[in-house]
Amino acid sequence: MLHHIRLIHASKSRKLVGKKIVLAIPGSIAAVECVKLARELIRHGAEVHAVMSENAQKIIHPHAMEFATGNPVVTEITGFIEHVELAGEHENKADLVLVCPATANTIGKIACGIDDTPVTTVVTTAFAHTPIMIAPAMHSTMYDHPIVLENIEKLKKLGVEFIGPRFEEGKAKVAPMEEIVYRVIKKLHGKDLAGKRVLVTAGATREYIDPIRYITNASSGKMGVAIAEEADFRGAEVTLIRTRGSVSSLVENQIEVETVEEMLEAIEKELKEKKYDIVVLAAAVSDFRVKEKAEVKIKSGKALTLELEPTPKIIDIVKALQPDVFLVGFKAETGLSEEELISAARKQIERAGSDLVVANTLKAFGSDENEVLLVGRDFVKRLPRMDKRELAERLWDEMMKLLRR
């Protein structure tokens, strides 16, 4: 591995370590984004090989992709049968062929089995035995052409996955890089949660004082979103109940709420309508709300006294609605010793029937890292301080062990 590739390899995660990805680049102007895309895939551990059509080489030089990937770039099919080396059926074949950014022309050729460029030849070679993902990019009038749409539907029925596009400025633009990387990880990740239905809450609730002011807390939602996305990678059917203003997520099924009451209603509705296997309540839910919310904006400039009342304990209703669900609660406190924190977590287990409590001392609110204690009915496990994405992986590993008991 070249030095400049070693410096970034798996620097963000190890999700794609051991995975070989062919980045097949047709002649769209969005090909200029492929250097960044290749590097981002490498940062998650992938080995990336670029294949370029003749038109792609007019937009971005092969040397740029050679630098980006640290591998020779395929610009033509020669006697070395590059398409078979990369995508033929053998032990060293690619794990994925990603066609990005895909033009209407390239999509049409793939749909019709035409392989007259290095890109389409590699795709044809991979078709029967290697996953193929396509990220389209073209003018929206081209994307809306009935034959183009027909070709896309034809390829979807044949098992090809499409990523995007996003529609802006009269164009069907290539999907954002974050979305492409997310979908690639999801495609190639192990599926130990396949067949499981998971509900996750994330973010800080808001309790309104008047129409524009509210009581909230410093939670960013990063931990809950990381947990939901990790479950998504692992093949679960995920519903994410996320509060307004919390960090965004690429989980497909999301419900946005603001107040404790709205979150409670959303959870009750989900638990009454669907059978869930696992519920993870990672949201930082307000403990208090204003007893009487003002209907109009309260005038400023003078002292204000607010009477607060406790909000309903959401975690207490989960087992009442679905007694067999695996319930994970979060317990965040300040000023407690470790023994007192464990005791507080155990009280939640007794009261709400939680199967696992993730306990911490609020030092991680809003940050990218967290340090927690895992408290179960008969065990306590301390996890070292780590990035919230890594912690989400560890939490699911621990949950899977408990679920297999």
Domain spans of the chain, in order of start: 3-188, 197-404
Q: How confident is the model at residue 168 (pLDDT cuts 50, 70, 90)?
A: confident
> pLDDT at position 332, please?
85
> pLDDT at position 231, please?
98
| Core vs surface per residue 64-74: b (16+ CB within 10 A) or e | bbebbbbbebb
31-61 confidence digits (pLDDT tens): 999 999 999 999 999 999 999 999 999 999 9
- Cis peptide bond upstream of 176, omega within 30: no
CATH of 3-188 among 2.40.10.120, 3.40.50.460, 3.40.640.10, 3.40.50.1950: 3.40.50.1950
197-404 and 3-188 share a CATH fold: yes
Q: Give percent of the chain above pLDDT 70.
A: 99
CA distance linking residue 51 with residue 49, whole number of Å: 7
Q: Percentage helix, strand, coil, to 5, in the chain?
A: 35, 20, 40
CA distance linking residue 100 with residue 102, whole number of Å: 5
User: What is the Cα 141 distance to its own chain's centre?
Assistant: 30
Structurally, what CATH architecture does the domain formed by 197-404 represent? 3-Layer(aba) Sandwich (3.40)
> pLDDT at position 333, please?
83
96-125 confidence digits (pLDDT tens): 999 999 999 999 999 999 999 999 999 999
> pLDDT at position 362, please?
59
Q: Is it the case that residue 338 has pLDDT exceeding 60?
A: yes
Nearest CA to 200 out of 173, 175, 230 is that of: 230
In terms of DSSP H, where are the helices of 102-164?
Answer: 104-111, 118-126, 140-143, 146-157
Determine the average pLDDT of the residues in 184-193.
97
Q: Is it the case that residue 134 has pLDDT exceeding 90?
A: yes
Angle at CA of residue 102, ends 99 and 103, nearest 5°: 155
287-319 confidence digits (pLDDT tens): 999 999 999 999 998 899 999 999 999 999 999
